[in-house]
A = this chain, B = another copy of it.
Amino acid sequence: MRLSRYFLPVLKEDPKEAQIVSHRLMLRAGMIKQQAAGIYSWLPLGFKVLRRIEAIVHEEQQRVGHIPLLMPTLQSADLWRESGRYDDYGEEMLRIRDRHKRDLLYGPTNEEMITDIFRGHVNSYKDLPLTLYHVQWKFRDEMRPRFGVMRGREFLMKDGYNFDLTREDALHAYNRHLVSYLRTYERMGLQAIPMRADGGPIGGDYTHEFLVLAETGESEVFYDSAITDLTFGDREIDHDSHAACQAVLEEFTSRYARTDETHDEAIFAQVPEERRRSARGIEVGQIFYFGTKYSEPMGATVVGPDGSRVPVHMGSHGIGVSRLLGAIIEASHDDKGIIWPEGVTPFHVGIVNLKQGDPSTDSACEAIYRDLKARGLDPLYDDRDERAGAKFATMDLIGLPWRITVGPRGLARNKVELTSRRTGEAEEIAAQDAITRLAGVYAPILGQPVSAA
């Protein structure tokens, strides 16, 4: 993309309404615009990151065999009366009446609807196991929406639901979700720690939240610092193997790590003192096993091997897709702006032309731009007639991980400058070498397989 033809409305000044850094930086970098309390437009740069995150979520879900579908944003109130949650849910549920005076609601989650889909179409244990998921906009009418996309009212969530014959199979699905989530977050450059949590309105007492450590987190968390040494990496796991997934669960949950809802001082005291940590965390996902809580009242049963009908065991598993943008920025920024991890950056590299209009720098930039695109990379070329300082400030603010700077003095020696946003290190290098270097950096990211076997 050429910046002169893009829509990147960066702000020069800090917006007053933003209380936390991610909200401030998303507004300043022209990523979002508030349209009503807790309701945002995703401007082009923000939308691009949102799509990258959504794509990672889809890829990792499909890698482990989960099947995408899409449920609507609006739901019939009758469905929620069946589960008993229509009256329980309280004021966070946005209730709507249509022109025929029928009660609808803007879905805050989809347990009822997916159970309805299941019971309408699945009849036999032979069709299990089954995990369906979608990535869809939700609405929760928060009393006090704030912190930008971190606590918005209209937000994008991935929610998935497993249907299994037995508790044991459903716990395997739970573990498989944990495995896939670990990998999902790592691809986004995040360390998200699974912590014992509370069921809340979804229900179930078997649940883990995934938390990213950050000073601005809404939750107080307590953990054994040894857990931060764990990484999932690019292990190849057989996702059908109960033992393999169980082993990952044990590895990542055997250390003490809890939110304040489930924190237990007595157990925490057994952690060696030098490893005891309390900190703030941002919740970016949660997995639940809740057995037959919805299948029983809603009649989601299958014929089992012995011919009798049994309610299925279920769980639900969510990733806060839109909130992840905030969480990533909270975890990765400096005083100049955002620092995107390579896995989610809106553009792979920025090109800064120090002397726009100069035939040699213009043609060098055009050639670099073209060659990067030919390698499958997505560059942002700042081709505006602006001074160098303004161009650098914009690139630093929007946080592209790499920058190629092209100026007449460097070109005289056949060199450009390749700069890392994270370290600030700059290197004089031939343009073709910079392109090859970047192609190498992004090869593992661009090469991610998209669908499961």
Residues of A within 8 A of B (CB): 1, 5-7, 9, 30, 33, 35-37, 39-44, 46-48, 50, 65, 67-76, 79, 91-92, 94, 96, 98-100, 102, 104, 106, 113, 116-117, 120-122, 130, 132, 134, 137, 139, 141, 143, 153-154, 373, 378, 451
Contact = CB atoms under 8 A, between A and B. Distances in A.
A36 B102 contact: yes
A234 to B, nearest CB: 20
A295 B130 CA distance: 51
Contacts of A65: 5
A91 B99 CA distance: 7
- How many chain copies does the complex carry? 2
A285 B202 CA distance: 41
B154 A73 contact: yes
Sorted nearest first, the 8 A-B pairs with minimum C-beta distance are A9-B121, A42-B70, A36-B76, A91-B99, A41-B71, A47-B70, A39-B72, A72-B154
Contacts of A41: 69-72, 113, 117
Nearest to A142: B99
A451 B76 CA distance: 39
A47 B72 CA distance: 11
Contact of A96 (B33, B50, B94): B94
Contact of A33 (B7, B42, B91, B117): B117
A5 B1 CA distance: 40
Given A30-B121, A68-B44, A143-B99, A7 B74 contact: no
A233 to B, nearest CB: 25
A40 B72 contact: yes
A113 B74 contact: no
Contacts of A37: 100, 102
B91 A35 contact: no
Residue among A5, A104, A143 facing the most chain B CB atoms (10 A cut-off)? A104
A6 B98 contact: no
